[in-house]
Each structure stands twice: as C-alpha cells, then as structure tokens.
Copies of this chain bind each other. A is one copy, B any other.
C-alpha cells in the first residue's frame, strides 16, 4: 500500500474541468458552459470573505455565478476545492521547472530556484492571492482540504529527489525532502499572508535557505530583512 493518500477514495473520478484556458476551438459541439471554474472561484472567494466559509452555502456560490447547485459540483468535487486552482497549476509549474534544472545543481538549490521562480506574481494579483491564502490557512475546513493538494506538491519534489538520488520515490529521503520543503514554504506563505511587510519570495528564500542550512541554531536567530515588496 502506498504511504500517500489514496485518491480513488470517495467516489470522485478526479476528472474535473479546470481547463479554463478559454482556448476552445470555437466550433465546439454541444451546449456551451454557463460558467467556468474561475468564475465560480471568484464568486466563492467574495462570499467566503464577506460571510465566512461555513456561512456560505454552495447554493449561494452557484447562484452568484448564475448556475444551479448541481452544476457547481460538476466543476468541483467539494465546496472546499473551489480555491485551489492556482495552487494546483503552481505545482505543475514547479514540476516543469525542476525537470529543466541543470543536473549538476545540488538538490535543495534546484528546488529553491524552482520554488522562487514559480512564485512571482503580478502586483495586481497580489490582493486576491493574499485573501485566498489567508482563508486557506485560517478556516479549518479549508485547511483540511489542503491535504490532497499538498500531496501533489510534495510528490513533485519527491519525484525530483528520487531521480537525482537514484532511489524509488516512496523511500524515506525523497519523502522527507518533499514534505520538509513544502513545510518551509507553507511557513513562508503564512508569515507573508499574515503580514504585508515584504515580498513573498523574500520569505520563501529565507525559509528554504534555513532548511538547507540544517535549521541550525545560529541561522535561526535573525528574521529576514523586511524589505517592502
């Protein structure tokens, strides 16, 4: 049995329509979609921010996007899945960046570069990013829904480490590196979404460098420069 979460679990087929690439061949066959995963996400983010997650029903999200409750669940398997689009695409970005890293780079250095490169956001996207990440780490039900998405993130790093170290992906060290790296990044995310005093990449860089330094006592004494970003 795999040590990872079994995604075949509760009936969901996993095939979601997160292909908001708006690149439909124009001569698509059947009835055109009445909404999109992105539109549902925006509506949900607004409602969650205004009224809270638990106080918002799926009916309200669907109505705000102009569709029925039933249709919401055609776009997302669960109410709590609606805010994870961008995170999931970031996982794919990191996976791609890692595959392109020069082979002579130390593992953690390659991971650090890939993570930093995947986390540059346009200034106009930052407010939404911050609201979404604050909700994801603050609301218990949303924090719980993170598990499966984090799992994919860790797998991307574990697979890279496994290739580099010539070990199977399920062995101990690839698992440790994947999870420890995500742990450091999550700490940076939370620190950043709680305060607005520096660029996200500053915290990510500091956290990953601390990890590569073995979390030694001497490197833990100084906070990273709060250079406003």
Contact = CB atoms under 8 A, between A and B. Distances in A.
Interface in A83-120: 106-108
Contacts of A173: 210, 215, 220, 223
A67 interface: no
Contact of A184 (B144, B146, B179, B223): B179
A172 B188 CA distance: 7
A116 to B, nearest CB: 16
Given A171-B191, A172-B187, A172-B188, A164 B217 contact: yes
A84 to B, nearest CB: 13
Q: Which of A145, A215, A223, A224 has the most CB of B within 10 A?
A: A215
Interface residues of A, number: 68
A139 B139 CA distance: 21
A60 interface: no
A180 B184 contact: yes
Contacts of A211: 176, 180, 214-215
A55 to B, nearest CB: 10
Interface stretch (A5-13, A19-27, A30-38, A41-49): A5-13
B180 A3 contact: no
A207 B178 CA distance: 12
A170 B137 CA distance: 14
A126 interface: no
A129 interface: no
A14 to B, nearest CB: 11
A220 B144 contact: no
A220 B5 contact: no
Given A147-B147, A165-B220, A206 B172 contact: yes
A154 to B, nearest CB: 8
A221 interface: yes
Given A2-B194, A5-B143, A186-B179, A172 B203 contact: yes
Contacts of A187: 172, 175-176, 178-180
